[in-house]
Amino acid sequence: MNITRENIDALNAVVKVDIAKEDYSDKVEKILADYRKSANIPGFRKGHVPMTMVKKQYGKAVLVDEVNKLLQDALNKYLTEEKLDVLGNPLPKAQDDLDWDADSFTFEFELGLAPQFEVELKGKKPITHFNIVADDKMIDGQVEHIRKQYGKLVSQDAVTKESEVTGVFVNEEKEINNKATFTLDKIKSKTAEKSLIGAKVGDVVTLKTKDLFNDDHDLMSFLKVAHDDAHELDVDVTFTVEEVNIRELADLDQELFDKLFGKDVVSSVTELKTKIKEDSEKQFGQQGDQKFLNDVTEYLVENTKFDLPATFLQKWMQTAGEDPLDADQAKEEYENSEKSMRYQLIEGKLIEKYKLQVTFDDLKDFAKEMIKVQMAQFGQMDPQDKELEDIAARILSNKDEVRRLSEQLMSQKLLELYKKEANLKVKEISYDDFVKEFYS
């Protein structure tokens, strides 16, 4: 067997594999001999079928199968030994004139080669890492929300600004008929608010859906309309009042603190606010990190210049998925995924350059921390280490879970690398301002 490579350019190559008769003949003869021992052909005793007949019936199929196996093994070995960093998979060149009756065969494969490039994490312009803080306004709002959530409902005679109202929205034309509960602070329309205030159980109020709520998306939950309809809905609905309540706020006492956090974890309003701040900022930290990770990714893709074997990759994409694509579909798929492919190559370069790796011990510790967080959500605050070890062992016996956790852990390692090596500046921002600036 002989394998040669012709480099078309820096990103494309053709590998030629020459297979001679001596490369496959012994294997084919052995398989056919085994077939002869077990072949059942009318007119011949088992094991006494003439080899000429066995070859006539099975020879071509065995030959094709063995040559293909030999070809794939040789190609994979060659790519490994030559340390060729290929994109996608080798693409066999069409051979309409291949003669399987010949003694030797030649196959050609197109290769898309990974580009050579360097990655520089420290850019001239700093990337902002937002430190999202829970300010006093937000903490006070959370305390108020907790008191409402754990308070008790008290029936009212008529709707007031502080009321929690339950009733049925109806519009026959739009097939709206939905029971909902809401507070009047959700209402945007002053006309609608005026119509609702003073209403009693059994009253029917007509409301306009346009600008009814502060957030049009509330129409989806309160009227059960589709997302697209919610933004353009401009009809009259009737609202039949079924209940009017006011929520009496819960006392900030030890009973409430224990219900929220476990016995004696929090014992004062000051400690409650501290706990809310700590828990909130822990969650905010994840959002700040994700924003930073997205910004670094964008920076790296925009500022790390290299070419890709675009023509090869589009050709490869035509047959790489479950469903074949035509040329136009493959081009569109390539354009949609090009940025992701570029970042994967950059990420791989960084992992190699900074020698980042995920060990089994890393994975086990990561899994145990994840399990502890999940158990804490169900009130198990101090699980035994053996219990954690046993659960982690079950998780890590699943290959899909190992792959998923490995990806998450490597993402964490890359995030820490970016925080250490990238040119960044830290900016403190309240959660409300963070949401307004990036998600409004």
d(CA 59, CA 61): 6
Residue pointed to by tokens 């309160």: 222
- At residue 96 the predicted structure's pLDDT band, cuts being 50, 70 and 90, is confident
d(CA 95, CA 109): 11
Model pLDDT, residue 374: 86
Model pLDDT, residue 438: 86
Query: Where does the chain hold its CATH 1.10.3120 domain(s)?
Result: 269-439
Q: Kindly report the three-state secondary structure assignment for every residue of the chain.
A: CEEEEEECCCCEEEEEEEECHHHHHHHHHHHHHHHHHHCCCCCCCCCCCCHHHHHHHHHHHHHHHHHHHHHHHHHHHHHHHCCCCEEEEEEECCCCCCCCCCCCEEEEEEEEECCCCCCCCCCCCCEEEEEEECCHHHHHHHHHHHHHHCCEEEECCCCCCCCEEEEEEEECCCCEEEEEEEEHHHECCHHHHHHHCCCCCCCEEEEECCCCECCCCHHHHHCCCCHHHHHHCCCEEEEEEEEEEEEECCCCCHHHHHHHHCCCCCCCHHHHHHHHHHHHHHHHHHHHHHHHHHHHHHHHHHHCCCCCCHHHHHHHHHHHCCCCCCHHHHHHHHHHHHHHHHHHHHHHHHHHHCCCCCCHHHHHHHHHHHHHHHHHCCCCCCCCHHHHHHHHHHHHCCHHHHHHHHHHHHHHHHHHHHHHHCCEEEEEEEHHHHHHHHHC
CB atoms within 10 A of CB 196: 25
Model pLDDT, residue 300: 96
Model pLDDT, residue 384: 86
State percent of the chain over pLDDT 70. 99
pLDDT at 230 exceeding the cut of 90: no
pLDDT at 373 exceeding the cut of 90: no
Which whole-number Å values give the CA distances from 237 to 141, 187, 206, 276, 350, in the listed order? 32, 14, 6, 40, 58
pLDDT at 113 exceeding the cut of 80: yes
Model pLDDT, residue 440: 65
Determine the topology of domain 2-113 in CATH. Alpha-Beta Plaits (3.30.70)
State percent of the chain over pLDDT 90. 80
Model pLDDT, residue 37: 82
Model pLDDT, residue 269: 95
pLDDT at 377 exceeding the cut of 80: no
Model pLDDT, residue 291: 95
CATH number of the domain located at residue range(s) 269-439 in this protein:
1.10.3120
Token pair recorded at residue 369: 């921390």
Q: What average pLDDT does the segment 403-424 reach?
A: 94
Query: Where does the chain hold its CATH 3.30.70.1050 domain(s)?
Result: 2-113
Residue range 238-266, pLDDT digits in tens: 999 999 999 899 999 999 999 888 888 89
Mean residue pLDDT across the chain: 92
Query: Where does the chain hold its CATH 3.10.50 domain(s)?
Result: 152-248
Output the CA torsion sign for 64, 67, 69, 71.
negative
Determine the topology of domain 152-248 in CATH. Chitinase A; domain 3 (3.10.50)
Residue range 165-199, pLDDT digits in tens: 999 999 999 999 999 999 999 999 999 999 999 99
Model pLDDT, residue 12: 97
Residue range 127-140, pLDDT digits in tens: 999 999 999 999 99
Residue pointed to by tokens 């409004």: 440
pLDDT at 350 exceeding the cut of 70: yes
Q: Which of 147, 220, 236 is nearest to 178 (CA)?
A: 220
